[in-house]
Amino acid sequence: MEIPLLFSNEKSGFGLKAQARNALAIAVVGLSFTLSACSVPGPGEAPGGIYDPYEETNRNNHELNRALDRSLVRPAGKGYTQFVPDPIEDSVSSFASNLSLPGTVVNNLLQGDLGGAFQNTFRFAFNTVFGFGGLADPASEFGIDEVETDFGETLYVWGVPEGAYVELPVLGPSTERDAVGRVVDVFTNPLSYVLPSPEKYYGTGAALASKLGDRGRYSDTIDTILYESADSYAQARMIYLQNRRFKLGSDDSSAYVDPYDDPYGDPYADPYADPYADPYADQTE
Amino acid sequence: MSGVALAAMTPAPAFALTADGAKRLVDAIVADINRVIAAPTSEAQKIREFEKIFVRYSDVPTIARYALGVDARRATRAQMNAFTKAFQVYVSRKYGKRFREFIGGRIEVQKARKVKNFYEVRTIAHLRGESPFEVTFLVSDRSGRDKFFNIFIEGVNMLLTERTEIGAMLDKRRGNIDALISDLKSIS
């Protein structure tokens, strides 16, 4: 949506409202259609296991992603961390993360997580004012950390099933639910509607740079998974699913909802995640 | 009957481990790891030290057996012993090589609680330039001594990750356990 529309006169403002309502209706219909397509494991399969019916396609995408990483992302990431001084690198990622916060707040609210929404809003205001527009992160010094979330988590909170595991071209490991979440999150950040261009692209640029920085900084760890393991596809799938389920099950936002509702039960409810699979159970021969 | 005699008659491992004991074990691991990282030694020396820590504080045979998965059932005793030793070297190298990520960082031991018949000890790792993240140790005394048998780093656990990796390595070698053992030793 272009900025001039927001300042348009009342008549066309009314038209805009109707337009927005139509757009919303279309989006909701489209979303529910996409979500109903989220595949669910058959009756014989554990909901906490690995559900990967598109393995062949996923493996092709994995090879594509590896080739892309080897030829482009890895060298660029390493170059970025090597040539950009650490303080500037930190500023770029603080800036990107600060600009993404309004979108996170929208998701906090959609999940009914008022505490998280308040904390993130406060963090955004604090860092924007006292952190030079978000280039610095003084809020963290005061323990006001980001309550991380995204639309994939919103869908989880709304009860949408995880769906199949997918490895997306360029974007990497995901699930059907999280893939839908990523698409929707392109539109959840209110700043992208308020900021004029080119300013609204600064955030996107900073986010990309920050991702490159991560690739460079965690180069050894990522290389171990992508290039040193016997089956990098299976390794990436395993690590992604464990980490994603852990974050959905046990982060702050869900703890805020009802602290007396066995806050520890959740992350271990998943049998695959029966992370506490008992290695001693096997030993009774 | 005196308390001492009663204690002598009770099987030692049962109820021997407490939440405090589990927490102390993790405190000791963290202290040892920090000491190795801070010492002015070479990477090769550090990896040898990490192997000692791994053997001292973790239940290596159980972890190795779990990593090998269902194939552990068809392995001979000699193969199991050789695999356990090779696995121990492989794990120490794989994780020990990354000690640099921990320089200047610290791990805070939070709290321990009983889950099923073992203990969960939660810690928070603070590494330079990263937001704090959760590292959880699972501790049991069912090996006969108090040892940890799994570590979770932000939900990613060592047992499952290594079972996937060892399983893939074994598949690549068409299920040949001896080939797997010799290759594990040579991975640097």
Is there a domain that residue B98 lies in? yes
Q: Shortest CA distance to B123 belongs to which of B30, B8, B17, B39?
A: B30
Is there a domain that residue B4 lies in? no
Is there a domain that residue A107 lies in? yes
Distance CA A187, CA A181 (A): 10
Is there a domain that residue A196 lies in? yes
Is there a domain that residue B165 lies in? yes
How many domains does chain A fold into?
Answer: 1
Q: Which residues span the domain enclosing B98?
A: 16-186
Distance CA B21, CA B30 (A): 14
Quote the tokens at residue A216.
């460079």
- Which of A220, A224, A245 lies nearest to residue B155, judging by beta carbons? A245
Is there a domain that residue B9 lies in? no
- Chain A partners within 8 Å of B172 (Cβ): 230-231
Is there a domain that residue B173 lies in? yes
Terminal alpha carbon distance of chain A: 66
Distance CA B108, CA A15 (A): 57
How many domains does chain B fold into?
Answer: 1
Is there a domain that residue A276 lies in? no
Is there a domain that residue A105 lies in? yes
- Chain A partners within 8 Å of B127 (Cβ): none
Inter-chain touch A282–B72, beta carbons under 8 Å: yes
Is there a domain that residue B6 lies in? no
Q: Which residues span the domain enclosing A122?
A: 12-248
Per residue of chain A (285 residues), give pLDDT as tens: 333 333 334 344 444 455 555 555 555 555 665 666 566 665 444 445 789 999 999 999 999 999 999 999 999 999 999 999 988 998 999 999 999 999 999 999 999 999 999 999 999 999 999 999 999 999 988 989 899 999 999 999 999 999 999 999 999 999 999 999 999 998 988 888 888 878 878 888 999 999 998 888 888 888 889 999 999 999 999 999 989 988 887 533 332 222 223 323 333 333 344 456 666 765 544
Is there a domain that residue B134 lies in? yes
Residues facing residue B112 across a β-bridge = B121
Is there a domain that residue A4 lies in? no
The average pLDDT across B91-118 equals 84
What CATH number is given to the structural domain containing B24? 3.10.450.710
Residues near B153 by beta carbon (within 8 Å), at least 6 away in sequence: B125, B133, B134, B135
Distance CA A192, CA A209 (A): 18
Is there a domain that residue A78 lies in? yes
Inter-chain touch B138–A239, beta carbons under 8 Å: no
Phi, psi angle pair for A51, to nearest 5°: -110, 105
Distance CA B76, CA A245 (A): 37
Phi, psi angle pair for B181, to nearest 5°: -60, -45
- Chain A partners within 8 Å of B131 (Cβ): 140, 145-146
Is there a domain that residue A200 lies in? yes
Is there a domain that residue B94 lies in? yes
